[in-house]
Structure 1
Amino acid sequence: MKEFLQTKQSEMLSLLEKLVNIDSGSAHKKGIDEVGGILKEIYEELGFAVDVIEEPENGNNMVITHPGSNNPTMLAVAHMDTVFRVGTASERPFTIKGDRAYGPGVIDMKASQVALVYALKALKEYNPEALEKIQIVLNGDEEIGSPTSRHIIEKYSEGKKYALIMEPARKDGSLVTARRGGGYYSIYVKGKGAHSGIEPQNGISAIEELAHKTIQLHALTNHEEGISVSVGLIQGGESVNTIAPSAVGHVDVRITYAEQAEELDRKIREICATPYLAGTTIELEGGINRPPMVKNEQTIEFLEIIKETGAQLGIDITDVSTGGGSDASFTSAMGVPTVDGLGPVGGNAHSVDEYLEIPTLVERTNLLTELIRKLANKK
Structure 2
Amino acid sequence: MIHLSSLSFLEKEKRSMVALTKKLALINSFSNNTKGIKSVQDILMHEAKSLGCKAVFIKTADEAGFDLNGYPYKKKSGDILKLTMRPNAPFQCLLMGHADTVYPPDSPFQTCRIESDRLHGPGVADMKGGLAVLLKTLEAIERSPNRQSIGWTVLINGDEETGSSASRRFIEKEAFGKACALVFEPSKENGAFIKSRPASANYLFVARGKGAHAGRDFYQGVNAIAPLMRLALDLSSLTSKKKKIQVNIAKLVGGSEFNVVPDRGSLSINIRAFGSKSWNLAKEQTQAAFSRHKRAHPDLEMHLLSERPSKEFDKLQKPLFDTLNKSGALLGIPINLTESGGVTDGNLISAVGVPCIDSFGVIGSGLHTVHEEAHIASFTERAKLAALTILMYADAFYKRRTRSLSIPKAYQKLAWGL
Relative to the length of structure 2, the TM-score reads 0.85
- What displacement does 1:155 show? 0.9
1:292 aligns with 2:321: no
Are the counterparts in 2 of residues 213 and 272 from structure 1 also a CA contact under 8 Å?
Answer: yes
Partner of 1:6: 11
For the residues of structure 2 that align with 1:25 and 1:127, how far apart are their CA atoms? 39
The one-letter amino acid paired with 1:59 is G
5+ unaligned residues in a row in structure 2: which ranges? Answer: 1-5, 62-75, 399-418
For the residues of structure 1 that align with 2:370 and 2:39, how far apart are their CA atoms? 23
1:244 aligns with 2:262: yes
- What displacement does 1:68 show? 6.0
Partner of 1:208: 226
| CA deviation string 1:320-358 (max 9, x = no partner) | 111111111111111111212111111111110000000
| CA deviation string 1:195-239 (max 9, x = no partner) | 222232222211111111112212222321111223221011121
For the residues of structure 2 that align with 1:6 and 1:316, how far apart are their CA atoms? 18
1:194 aligns with 2:212: yes
* Residue from 24, 33, 45 that aligns with 1:19: 24
Partner of 1:170: 188
Q: Which moved more, 1:288-297 or 1:103-112?
A: 288-297
Partner of 2:103: 84
**Alignment RMSD:** 2.0
- What displacement does 1:2 show? 4.6
* Residue from 46, 52, 61 that aligns with 1:47: 52
Secondary structure of the corresponding residue to residue 276 of structure 2: coil
Partner of 1:100: 118
For the residues of structure 2 that align with 1:70 and 1:213, how far apart are their CA atoms? 53
Are the counterparts in 2 of residues 65 and 135 from structure 1 also a CA contact under 8 Å?
Answer: yes
Secondary structure of the corresponding residue to residue 272 of structure 2: strand
Partner of 2:413: none
The one-letter amino acid paired with 1:146 is S
Partner of 2:79: 60
1:34 aligns with 2:52: no
- What displacement does 1:60 show? 0.9
The one-letter amino acid paired with 1:80 is A
Moved over 6 A (4+): none
Partner of 1:351: 369
For the residues of structure 2 that align with 1:278 and 1:224, how far apart are their CA atoms? 31
Q: May I ask how many residue pairs the two structures share in their alignment?
A: 378
For the residues of structure 1 that align with 2:289 and 2:305, how far apart are their CA atoms? 14
Partner of 1:281: 299
Partner of 2:163: 145
- What displacement does 1:376 show? 2.5
The one-letter amino acid paired with 2:324 is I
Are the counterparts in 1 of residues 245 and 279 from structure 2 also a CA contact under 8 Å?
Answer: no
- What displacement does 1:254 show? 0.7
Partner of 1:114: 132
Structure-2 change in CA distance of 1:127 and 1:12 (3 Å): farther
For the residues of structure 1 that align with 2:149 and 2:20, how far apart are their CA atoms? 21
Q: Which moved more, 1:106-115 or 1:215-224?
A: 215-224
Partner of 2:331: 313
| CA deviation string 1:36-82 (max 9, x = no partner) | 11111222221111121023521111222114643343111111111
The one-letter amino acid paired with 1:295 is F
Structure-2 change in CA distance of 1:263 and 1:360 (3 Å): closer
The one-letter amino acid paired with 1:86 is P
Are the counterparts in 2 of residues 204 and 279 from structure 1 also a CA contact under 8 Å?
Answer: no
Structure-2 change in CA distance of 1:131 and 1:123 (3 Å): farther
- What displacement does 1:276 show? 6.8
Structure-2 change in CA distance of 1:115 and 1:178 (3 Å): same
For the residues of structure 1 that align with 2:358 and 2:297, how far apart are their CA atoms? 48
For the residues of structure 1 that align with 2:244 and 2:306, how far apart are their CA atoms? 15
For the residues of structure 1 that align with 2:143 and 2:309, how far apart are their CA atoms? 38
Q: Which moved more, 1:97-106 or 1:295-304?
A: 295-304
For the residues of structure 2 that align with 1:244 and 1:158, how far apart are their CA atoms? 48
For the residues of structure 2 that align with 1:299 and 1:68, how far apart are their CA atoms? 23
* Residue from 173, 179, 191 that aligns with 1:161: 179
Secondary structure of the corresponding residue to residue 353 of structure 1: coil
Are the counterparts in 1 of residues 249 and 268 from structure 2 also a CA contact under 8 Å?
Answer: yes
| CA deviation string 1:225-280 (max 9, x = no partner) | 11122322101112122122111100111121224444533432343245479666
Secondary structure of the corresponding residue to residue 223 of structure 1: coil
Are the counterparts in 2 of residues 69 and 132 from structure 1 also a CA contact under 8 Å?
Answer: no
For the residues of structure 2 that align with 1:50 and 1:246, how far apart are their CA atoms? 46
- What displacement does 1:128 show? 6.0
Percent sequence identity is 29
For the residues of structure 1 that align with 2:294 and 2:353, how far apart are their CA atoms? 43
Relative to the length of structure 1, the TM-score reads 0.93
For the residues of structure 1 that align with 2:321 and 2:217, how far apart are their CA atoms? 66
